[in-house]
Amino acid sequence: MRILVVGSGGREHALIWKLKQESPDAQIYAAPGNGGTKALAESVPLKPDEVDELADFADSRDIDLTVVGPEAPLVAGIVDAFEERGLKIFGPTARAAEIEGSKAFAKALMKKAGVPSAGHETFSEFDEAEKYIRKHGAPLVVKASGLAAGKGSIVCESVEEAVEAAQSMMVDEKFGDAGATIVVEDFLAGEELSLLYLTDGENAVPLVPSQDHKPIGEGDTGLNTGGMGAYAPVSIADDALVGVVTDEIILPTLAALRDDDRTFRGVLYAGLILVDGDPYVIEFNCRFGDPETQAVLPLMQEGLLDVFVGLAGGGDLDVDRFRFRGGAAVCTVLASKGYPGSYEKGKRITIPKGLEDDDELIVLHAGTRRDPEGKLVTSGGRVLGVVGLGADVTAAAARSREGAEAIKFPGKYFRRDIGYREIDREAAG
């Protein structure tokens, strides 16, 4: 089998790692991949937004399956382009992917479907947004409606912070066109949860519940990032809660998408917050989360490739294909100094010999590349994801931290408290 994986981050490395695990003989290509994917896949010098060129490559190499990691090409219509040429690709069409591409659209869709989410208003004029913010009061969450690499959501504790956030998006164009329209939401307090569902547009099966840590600082403080780590499973997401999410959030959302001629096939990511035990939607994503994928996929024993092939071929979701292992996984992200702001690239990375031979440790690359000498160097803000496995989150987190400490590069930064809420719950019995 010949597989093309589109993207270059830790999520894509995790997907390649899992697909190679399930099909060792598969020929996998990564477009463009990173410094770590080269061990498992042949790099293709194409960017995710080069849709026509990617389709040409898939056609010329008789690719059996294309898997898209990042959201931008999905929103831009890569699935539509591939399907028009008879190429099998896993992911939603552009119309379905708008559930992530436009937060304004997603909020309207949730209202139509009766899905619980924070109260909100949508604005395309800064003056109107400012009036609303000053009248409403804080705390508030100000969100760029378009794609902003996971950084377009700002929690504001004061009115002035909210006005400043709106101005930075709508007037200063901090996120470009993505901030031309904003959503101003009521702030909801609670614990966050990520649930990824594989779906054929009508049926949906959840993967292992996970929790992301977006703030840069320990204890979830400081600026939001694309994600500083994640763990799975999450004990508060028991079968009863997952059932509620499935029945009251996911299935109604899929039905509303179908009713609007936007049948969603692929991975539907529900970013949730639990308020007094009840789930509310913070956001929907149209693809695998990053870094949630790095924690969730190692807990899958088999079935991912078969589901990808089936859904890409237009088939129904085969729920009997999934097999999960016990235990837990924790992913700690190693970041460059200065992230999520400006940072330097080209720092030499040293991974101790034998570190990756440990069955309870997986090193997944994100912002890495090989220099002209073939040495591994940094090339992004989030550089590596160190995944520890263990009987529970406490053990997995300890293994992840050990691996994170052992890897060296100038300016390395990482949070040492990934999974802290679950570790506290485990300690409390």
Handedness of CA 211, 215, 216, 219 (dihedral sign): negative
Q: Is residue 186 part of a domain?
A: no
Task: Write down the pLDDT at residue 351.
Answer: 97
Rounded to whole angstroms, the Cα distance separating 58 from 137 reads 52
- 144 within 8 A of 169, measured Cβ to Cβ: yes
Residues 6 or more apart whose Cβ sits within 8 Å of residue 292 = 194, 196, 210, 212, 227, 230, 232, 269
Q: Is residue 106 part of a domain?
A: no
Q: Is residue 155 part of a domain?
A: yes
- CATH at residue 162: 3.30.1490.20
Residue 47: other Cβ atoms inside 10 A:
16
Residues 6 or more apart whose Cβ sits within 8 Å of residue 122 = 104, 107, 145, 181, 182, 183, 184
Q: Is residue 347 part of a domain?
A: yes
Tally of domains in the chain: 4
Residues 199, 288 within the same domain: yes
Task: Write down the pLDDT at residue 293.
Answer: 98
Q: Is residue 96 part of a domain?
A: no
Reading the block at residue 288, the tokens are 């695998």
Residues 315, 202 within the same domain: yes
Residues 296, 262 within the same domain: yes
Question: Which residue has 């990564």 as its token pair?
Answer: 30
pTM, to two decimals: 0.96
Cα 370 vs. chain centroid, distance in angstroms?
A: 25
Question: Which residue has 């209202």 as its token pair?
Answer: 111
Rounded to whole angstroms, the Cα distance separating 422 from 397 reads 10
- CATH at residue 197: 3.30.470.20
Task: Write down the pLDDT at residue 221.
Answer: 93
Rounded-to-5 percentages of helix, strand, coil across the chain: 35, 30, 35
- 94 within 8 A of 139, measured Cβ to Cβ: no
Task: Write down the pLDDT at residue 301.
Answer: 86
Q: Is residue 104 part of a domain?
A: no
Residues 166, 199 within the same domain: no
**Start-to-end CA span in the chain (Å):** 46
Residues 351, 319 within the same domain: no
* Nearest in space to 44 (alpha carbons), one of 2, 1, 93: 2
Residues 314, 392 within the same domain: no
- CATH at residue 378: 3.90.600.10
Residue that finishes a domain, picked among 154, 180, 206: 180
Residues 302, 337 within the same domain: no
Half-sphere exposure of 393 (CA within 13 A, CB side): 26
Residue that finishes a domain, picked among 273, 303, 324: 324
Rounded to whole angstroms, the Cα distance separating 50 from 331 reads 30
Handedness of CA 222, 422, 10, 177 (dihedral sign): negative
Coil, strand, or helix at residue 338?
coil
Residue that finishes a domain, picked among 152, 180, 208: 180
User: What kind and span of H or E run contains 215?
Assistant: strand 215-217
Rounded to whole angstroms, the Cα distance separating 30 from 4 reads 6
Residues 50, 81 within the same domain: yes
- 170 within 8 A of 212, measured Cβ to Cβ: no
- 374 within 8 A of 420, measured Cβ to Cβ: no
Rounded to whole angstroms, the Cα distance separating 365 from 377 reads 11
Residues 167, 198 within the same domain: no
Residues 50, 155 within the same domain: no
Task: Write down the pLDDT at residue 224.
Answer: 86
Residues 278, 295 within the same domain: yes
Reading the block at residue 366, the tokens are 């994100």
pLDDT by position in tens, the chain (length 429): 999 999 999 999 999 999 999 999 999 999 999 999 999 999 999 999 999 999 999 999 999 999 999 999 999 999 999 999 999 999 999 999 999 999 999 999 999 999 999 999 999 999 999 999 999 999 999 999 999 877 788 999 999 999 999 999 999 999 999 999 999 999 999 999 999 999 999 999 999 999 999 999 999 999 889 999 999 999 999 999 999 999 999 999 999 999 999 999 999 999 999 999 999 999 999 999 999 999 999 999 888 999 999 999 899 987 776 778 899 999 999 999 999 999 999 999 999 999 988 889 999 999 999 999 999 999 999 999 999 999 999 999 999 999 999 999 999 999 999 999 999 999 998
Residues 197, 246 within the same domain: yes
Task: Write down the pLDDT at residue 212.
Answer: 97
Which amino acid is it at 375? K
CA distances from 399 to 213, 360, 390, 416, 428 (A): 18, 7, 8, 11, 21
DSSP 60-95: HTT-SEEEE-SHHHHHHTHHHHHHHTT--EES--HH
Domain containing 173 equals 125-180
Angle, helices 103-113/251-259, rounded to nearest 10 degrees? 100
Rounded to whole angstroms, the Cα distance separating 245 from 372 reads 49
Task: Write down the pLDDT at residue 323.
Answer: 78
Half-sphere exposure of 198 (CA within 13 A, CB side): 25
Rounded to whole angstroms, the Cα distance separating 18 from 23 reads 9
Task: Write down the pLDDT at residue 321.
Answer: 66
- 413 within 8 A of 337, measured Cβ to Cβ: yes
Q: Is residue 113 part of a domain?
A: no
Rounded to whole angstroms, the Cα distance separating 349 from 172 reads 36
Rounded to whole angstroms, the Cα distance separating 392 from 326 reads 9
Please list the alpha-helical segments (H only) found in 146-198: 159-170
- CATH at residue 82: 3.40.50.20
Q: Is residue 149 part of a domain?
A: yes
